[in-house]
Every structure is written in C-alpha cells, then in structure tokens.
A and B are shown apart, each in its own frame.
Chain A
Amino acid sequence: MKELIKRLSGLTHIAPLASFRFIFGLILFAGVLRFAFKGWITDLYVTPTFFFTYYGFEFIKPLGEVSMNIVFVIMGLSFLLMAIGYWYRFASISAFITFTYVELIDKTNYLNHYYFVSLVCLLLIFLPADRFFSLRTLLKPEDKLSHVPAYQIGVLKLQLGIVYFFAGLAKLNSDWILRALPLKIWLPAKAHIPLIGGLLAKTWIAYLFSWFGAIYDLVIPFLLLVKKYRNIAYLVVIIFHLATYFLFQIGMFPFVMIGATIIFFSSEWHLKYQQKLLNLLPVKKQAQSTVETNKINRPLILVFTVFFLFQLLFPLRFIAYPGKLFWTEQGYRFSWRVMLMEKAGYAVFHVTDPKTNRSWEVNNYDFLTLNQEKMMSTQTDMLLQFAHYLKKYYQTQGILEPIITVECYASLNGSSSQLLIDPTLDLTKVEDTFAPKNWILPFNPNL
C-alpha cells in the first residue's frame, strides 16, 4: 500500500493536465453554445410540463425560462474560464454544479457523455489544472507549478479508461458480437452516403464495425498508455470517433473523447504544443518558474479511491437483476452502454374511473414532448413515473382513485414488438425502487 501511494505520488510534469483543462473547457464551451443555439434550453427545460426526475433526485426541478438561460450562461462562462485557467476553482465548481443540475432535471435527456462530463468536472475541482499554461500563471508567474504527483493526471486517464473499457465490456453480448446488431440495422440506413454508402449496406461491414468497436473500446486505453503505440492509437481514436460522428447523431461526444484522450500524451508533447500556442500571444517569454510540487494529499487519495470504487462497481449492478438487460434496462444507465441497441416502443395508457366504470385512453402528446414520449415508451421506470403523474393529474380532475394501466409494446434490435410490462397491472399501486421490477414481461427473442 505504501509502495503504491509512493508510486502514485511520484512527480510528473503538469503540462498534460493543463492541456486537458484547456481543451476540455473549450469543447464544453462550444457544446453549451451549440445547445443554446439549437434552442434546446427552451425545448428541453422550458416547454415540457412534466419532467422525468431521477430516483432520489425528485427535488431537482427546472427553473423558469429566464433562470434556465442564466444557468446556461453561467455554465458556458464557467467552461470558458476553465479553458483559459482563470478563477479556476470557482469555474470548475460552478461548471460541475450547473452541468449536473441540468442533467438531473430530466432523464429523457440522459446521455453517457453527459455523465462523463459531470464526473470529469468533479475530478477537476480537486486538481490544480490552472497552475500551468493558464491566464492565472501568465498574470502571476509565481503561482506556476511545474510538477504534480502522478495520480493527479492518472485519475483522468483512469476515468477515460473506465469509460472505454466498460463500453467495450457492454458490447460483449450475443446481439452485438454474433448478430452484428444494432449496426446491421443502423448502417444500411446510411447507404445513401456517397462513396462508402454501398459498403454500409453490406452485412460483413456491420460485423466488422461491431467487432472493431468492441475491441477498440477494450484495448484503446491500454494502447494509449504505451508510448510505442500511442501515436497510432491516437490516430485510431480520431478515425473511430469521427466515423461515429458522421454516421450517427451523437452530438459532441466524439469531440469530447478526441479532446480528452490527449491526456495520454507525454509532457514533452504537451509542452511543445503549448509553447506554439503561447508564441501566438503577445506576451513576453517568461522564465520557467521554480519547481514547486504538491505534497501527498492522503484525504484526496482516499476520496479518489472511493470515487473510482463506486465507478468500478456501479456499472456492474445489472448482474443483480433478472431478465435481459436490454429489455428491462434495470441497471442500464450510468454504465457506459453507448450505441448498444435499437429500441423503440409505443405506450397507450388506459385510465378507468372505478366510480363510473368508464375507461379511456391518454393522449401522451398532451403531456409529453415527442422525445419524452419516445424515451418513455421503452423504459419501464419512466412508464411508471408517467402513470403516477397521470394519477395526480386525474385526481385534480375529480377522479380520486383512477386505475391506470399501460399497454406498452416495444421492439428490440429489430424484433417484432411485444408487450413490455403487464398490461393489467394498476401502476398507481406500484412504487419504483431498486428492487427487480417483476412486472416487466420477459423478452421473447423468437418473436
């Protein structure tokens, strides 16, 4: 243990950490701008009348239109400040809080890379990433720090490694490996793309992409760690993520990963490019500052240890649940399951007033946005949440004890659609917990 702590605390140059801060902040700043310009602040956080909160975070509510916009302004400025390395402690804390707050409002918008961004922001709060190659050290050279304990850069590499490796593990399932699903469905939809379109319709390409994707995720963090393979590995990183960017609608994720993985490069590499950038600035060349170093921070190491233990265990919670993971989605989120399945569903909620014995159906689109309805129709916890919302709604309409059932059909990886949950179950009598949802009907792959 002592040996480990000693190794982790061995000094290494701070440059990769500073570059990471710069690139990560810039990409996320661009991400916030993109989000705002697409009008998503209003579409996602102002327009909806109902929000699918996360278990345990039901108290998180969106603010009004003006306040939500202010939150995004603060978020954007925080990432910008983070990038330039000024007021960094404030910036990293406020980036973490605003970003995480927004993500917790509605699980409809859950994306693995948003979770990744939250985690990295949290890590950055504890790292001295602004002590080099930053506005702070330009203005105040005596704050410059040239070396940090290795673990302070290692945590970011470990975080990236976890994302890739778990994403790779998640691909080791029979649909992905043996049947090339869902790529066999997704790629032919891109057959109109010039030049490569014709290839994308071929079954063997779907297999190649599936296998390559799985192996890529599993080995890329290790290849990036080894100096000999680093350059070629990074080239593969760029090609892989750009390919996913052009083929799928996955937003900023490819750029976040392409940017973040530069942390694996050596300090010489980083120093070289940082100097090139600094040469563009109209500042006098400054002498290297003194080699000051951080002391070993035992409480911090403990915090990181707990943080990563959680991350290593939480994605595995699916093992505790019965049934096919992709079908039940119990333990699906926060586990780096990216681009893994093609799932679609349609939910019809039936309401019965026991007093009058009258029954009717709910028009989901009266309450939900297109995307909320789409997401809900395949995810059992959201179906339950919406049923509870409907119960409250009908109670305000004078129906005190509505019986609410749902007829929800879903299709997984091109299967025929089949009932997702027991259509006779009164959902108002069911509470969401971490216990297995025994009212989810089993998936029949042969349908």
Chain B
Amino acid sequence: MKKFRIFISGIVILTLFSCADTDNDSPKDNFDQQAMLSNLSENIFLPNYALLESEVEDFILRWEAFKRIKNEANFIQLSEQFKEVYHSYQKVNYAEFGPAADVSLRNNLNTFPTDTAAIINNIQSGNLTINTLGSFDQKGLPAIDYLLFSKSTSATVNLFNDAKYVTYMDTLVDDINYRVKSTNNSWKSSYAGTFSNKIGSDIGSSIGILTNAWNQHYERNYRDGKIGIPLGIRSLGLPLPEKAEAYFSGISTSLAIKNLIEMEALYLGIGNDGINRSSFDDYLLAIDAQQLDSRIKTQFTAAEEALKRIESGELSEQIKNNPAAVESAYQELQKLILLIKVEMPSRLGILITYQDNDGD
C-alpha cells in the first residue's frame, strides 16, 4: 500500500508541475448558459415571433381592406405589407425547433419554388385542402408571392374579382395566421421557460437544439435554398433562377441579406431593442476562443458585403447577367458554414448527433 501511495503522490506532483509549466491557469468565470438562453428567448425569439404575428395581422387587415375595395391603392398597401411579413419571417426561420417545429412552420410558410400549376388547379377546382404533406408547395408565402406578383398590378387586382381567387387567398392567409399564432403562443406560454432552463451542450439541450437547427437552416435553406439552388449547384451546374425565394416579387436578395443579419444578431445576442447581450460570441470568449469569435464576425461581414454587391435588381437577373458575383457571394456564405457548423460546435462541445461516440 505504501508504494501505491508514493505512486499516487507522484502523479499529483507531476500533474501540478505540468500545469505550472505549460499553461497559466487563469481562473475564469464560468459561462452562464442560462443567462444566454434567457437573453435569446426574451430579447430575440419572443419579440421576433410577436413581430411576425403582428405583421401577419397587419397583412390580414390590408387583405380585408382590399377585399372590400379592390383598387390599385389597396393592392399596393397589401403587397407592400406582404414584403414586411416575408422580411419578418427571416427573423425566425432559423429557429425551426420547439413550437415552430410542432406546426412545421418552415414547410408550411416557406416551401419554394411554389407549384404554380397546382395552385391554379386548386383555385379552379375549389380544392382548399392544403394541409397535406404534398401541398407544402401550394401554400404559404411563396404561393401568395405568386398570386400577388406574377402579373401586372392591374391584372392582379382584376384577378381577385374572381371569388375563387379570394377564397384560396383566404385559405392561405388563415393557415399562415394559425401557424404563426400557435408558435408565438407556445413560446409565450411555456416554451420560453423550457428553452431557458435546458442548459448543457448535449443533444437535448437548448444550445444543442438551437445550434443544430440553425446550422441545418443555414446549410440547406439558406445557403442552398436561397442562393445555391438558383445558381445551379444542385442541377449539374445549370442555373435555375426561377427557383429563387420570392421569385415573383423579386425580393430574394433583400430577404437573404435580412436573414443573414438576423443570424448574425443571434450569434451576437443583439435583441430587438438593439442591445447586445449574452450569446454564442460571449460563450466563445468565455472559453478563450477569441480568434474564432473574430473570424466568425469577420466572415459575417464579408458575406453581407458579398450579398450587397448583388442587391440591385432581382436575384434571377443577377444569376443570368452577373453569375460571377453571385458565385462569389455563395463562396462567402460557404466559408461561414465551416465556422458555425464545424469550428464553433467543436469548441463549445456541442453534440450534433445523438449516437454513441468514443471520440474518434
């Protein structure tokens, strides 16, 4: 037993020496995950969902007004408010988990490209069952984008003199309203608390859930959906500009920039009041990953600038006439993935799969 004790003391002494030699053991404050989660939920998610809900309500008011008096002035009000709704949706689309996932907010609100032939067919045949898995591409914001923007203003106003169009539009609006309200209510009533309290970094923790949802959105719905697919990355290099988000209203790039700014706000913890509080950047600083933090910030800026270079005119036009600039924006978005999907979770110890792993 004596030898064993000497042996153990040896280990302890060696260990202490190794610390002294190689690393200054600066006692740092533990990062308060709960503060971060509370901030995200109180200052970002709750106000963002509330904003989306109120924008949708505004849209409904204008839709009702337009239904009463179908003139161009009311239509312009309606279509401008539609763009507000679409932009405010960019504040929540990366958070497809919890209440949003419960109502499949993304699939129901923003599946694009929308199936224009099926929509016309639904309208003409009076088919209002848009709650099936197969009808995601006949509803939501892209369907309204098609109905409001595919024709000239006067032709569109005229279109809604056909009661079938009004009925279909009513169905689309009701569905969006229901899902947005349901999401917002769940967040307000219970999920905000659940979210703030599930600390940790495992697969079921809020940071794990958020990071995974955010990355999945960024990779598939943002980089690919908004830019990559119209650019032709999934079609053997053949551009498909008609697959852009909000193709008919032509606000694709504006939505993409908005979305990126919102994801940056998430990363930085900037609330709707503009105040920067605890979030991923502070978490990285707390574990001494300043360099990674600054690279992420720099890359957000670079990606925004690249997107702004293709901001003028419609994305579909830019893809046809200025493909190199769109390609360069895509590459800048690509670089950010590496940072937020690979390096950040790796440094923060966030698990991205639930499977057993022995670290190799």
- Name, among B289, B295, B357, the residue most crowded by chain A CB atoms within 10 Å (CB to CB): B357
Interface of B is mostly: loop
Interface residues of B in 139-172 (CB under 8 A from A): none
**B342 and A229 within 8 A (CB):** no
**B1 and A361 within 8 A (CB):** no
**A339 and B359 within 8 A (CB):** yes
**Is B190 part of the binding interface, using a Cβ–Cβ cutoff of 8 Å?**
no
Interface residues of A in 210-249 (CB under 8 A from B): 211-212, 215, 228-229, 232, 248-249
**Is A360 part of the binding interface, using a Cβ–Cβ cutoff of 8 Å?**
yes
Task: Give the residues in chain A near B357, CB-CB below 8 Å.
Answer: 111, 248-250
**Is B353 part of the binding interface, using a Cβ–Cβ cutoff of 8 Å?**
yes
| Chain B residues engaging chain A, CB cutoff 8 angstroms | 1, 4, 11, 14-16, 18-19, 22-23, 25-28, 30-31, 33-34, 199-203, 219-220, 224, 228, 232-238, 287, 289, 291-292, 295, 334, 337-338, 341-343, 345-360
**B236 and A248 within 8 A (CB):** no
In the bound assembly, the distance between CA atoms of A302 and B19 in angstroms comes to 48
In the bound assembly, the distance between CA atoms of A185 and B236 in angstroms comes to 40
Least Cβ distance of A134 to chain B in Å? 30
Which residue on A lies nearest to B292, using beta carbons? A416
**B352 and A370 within 8 A (CB):** yes
**Is A120 part of the binding interface, using a Cβ–Cβ cutoff of 8 Å?**
no
Which residue on A lies nearest to B235, using beta carbons? A360
Least Cβ distance of B27 to chain A in Å? 7
Task: Give the residues in chain B near A269, CB-CB below 8 Å.
Answer: none
Least Cβ distance of B259 to chain A in Å? 19
Interface residues of A in 307-336 (CB under 8 A from B): 332-333
Which of A112, A191, A374, A397 is within 8 Å of B352, CB to CB? Answer: A374
**Is A41 part of the binding interface, using a Cβ–Cβ cutoff of 8 Å?**
no
In the bound assembly, the distance between CA atoms of A342 and B347 in angstroms comes to 9
Task: Give the residues in chain B near A186, CB-CB below 8 Å.
Answer: 349
Task: Give the residues in chain A near B343, CB-CB below 8 Å.
Answer: 344, 411, 416-417
Are A340 and B359 CB-contacts (below 8 A) given A202-B27, A417-B338?
yes
In the bound assembly, the distance between CA atoms of A203 and B355 in angstroms comes to 28
Which residue on A lies nearest to B28, using beta carbons? A201
- Name, among B30, B220, B238, B334, the residue most crowded by chain A CB atoms within 10 Å (CB to CB): B30
Are A207 and B233 CB-contacts (below 8 A) given A250-B356, A340-B359?
no
**B341 and A346 within 8 A (CB):** yes
**Is A371 part of the binding interface, using a Cβ–Cβ cutoff of 8 Å?**
yes
Which of B18, B31, B347, B356 is within 8 Å of A414, CB to CB? Answer: B347
Task: Give the residues in chain A near B14, CB-CB below 8 Å.
Answer: 211
**A338 and B360 within 8 A (CB):** yes
Task: Give the residues in chain B near A112, CB-CB below 8 Å.
Answer: 358, 360
In the bound assembly, the distance between CA atoms of A273 and B31 in angstroms comes to 47
Least Cβ distance of B44 to chain A in Å? 21
Task: Give the residues in chain B near A370, CB-CB below 8 Å.
Answer: 352-353
Task: Give the residues in chain A near B360, CB-CB below 8 Å.
Answer: 110, 112, 332-333, 337-341
Least Cβ distance of A45 to chain B in Å? 12
**A346 and B15 within 8 A (CB):** no
In the bound assembly, the distance between CA atoms of A40 and B353 in angstroms comes to 12
**B30 and A203 within 8 A (CB):** no
Least Cβ distance of B46 to chain A in Å? 23
Which of B23, B27, B30, B220 is within 8 Å of A180, CB to CB? Answer: B23
Task: Give the residues in chain A near B203, CB-CB below 8 Å.
Answer: 249
Least Cβ distance of A256 to chain B in Å? 11
Interface of A is mostly: mixed
Are A232 and B4 CB-contacts (below 8 A) given A191-B30, A202-B25?
yes
Q: How many A-B residue pairs have CB under 8 A?
A: 159
Which of A192, A215, A252, A363 is within 8 Å of B233, CB to CB? Answer: A363
**Is A353 part of the binding interface, using a Cβ–Cβ cutoff of 8 Å?**
yes
Are A344 and B351 CB-contacts (below 8 A) given A250-B357, A338-B358?
no
Task: Give the residues in chain B near A438, CB-CB below 8 Å.
Answer: none
**B356 and A361 within 8 A (CB):** no
Are A250 and B4 CB-contacts (below 8 A) given A179-B22, A211-B18, A416-B291?
no
Are A204 and B228 CB-contacts (below 8 A) given A40-B355, A371-B353?
no
Task: Give the residues in chain B near A437, CB-CB below 8 Å.
Answer: none
Which residue on B lies nearest to A212, using beta carbons? B11
**B356 and A249 within 8 A (CB):** yes
Task: Give the residues in chain A near B338, CB-CB below 8 Å.
Answer: 346, 409, 417
Which of A44, A188, A353, A416 is within 8 Å of B237, CB to CB? Answer: A353
Least Cβ distance of B356 to chain A in Å? 3
Task: Give the residues in chain A near B359, CB-CB below 8 Å.
Answer: 182, 248, 250, 338-342
Task: Give the residues in chain B near A359, CB-CB below 8 Å.
Answer: 237
**B19 and A201 within 8 A (CB):** no
Which residue on B lies nearest to A233, using beta carbons? B4
In the bound assembly, the distance between CA atoms of A252 and B356 in angstroms comes to 8
Task: Give the residues in chain B near A301, CB-CB below 8 Å.
Answer: none
Least Cβ distance of A33 to chain B in Å? 14
In the bound assembly, the distance between CA atoms of A212 and B233 in angstroms comes to 50
Which of A177, A215, A333, A361 is within 8 Å of B11, CB to CB? Answer: A215
**A192 and B199 within 8 A (CB):** yes
Q: 8 closest pairs, A vs B, by CB? A: A189-B349, A251-B356, A358-B237, A339-B359, A344-B346, A360-B237, A371-B353, A192-B199
- Name, among B4, B228, B348, the residue most crowded by chain A CB atoms within 10 Å (CB to CB): B4
Which residue on A lies nearest to B202, using beta carbons? A249
Which residue on A lies nearest to B200, using beta carbons? A192
**Is A345 part of the binding interface, using a Cβ–Cβ cutoff of 8 Å?**
yes
Are A204 and B19 CB-contacts (below 8 A) given A338-B360, A358-B237, A374-B353?
yes
In the bound assembly, the distance between CA atoms of A376 and B278 in angstroms comes to 33
Task: Give the residues in chain A near B291, CB-CB below 8 Å.
Answer: 416
**B358 and A111 within 8 A (CB):** yes
**A363 and B352 within 8 A (CB):** no
Mask: chain A, 246-285; 1 = CB below 8 Å from B; 0 = not = 0011111100000000000000000000000000000000
**A211 and B11 within 8 A (CB):** yes
Least Cβ distance of A360 to chain B in Å? 4
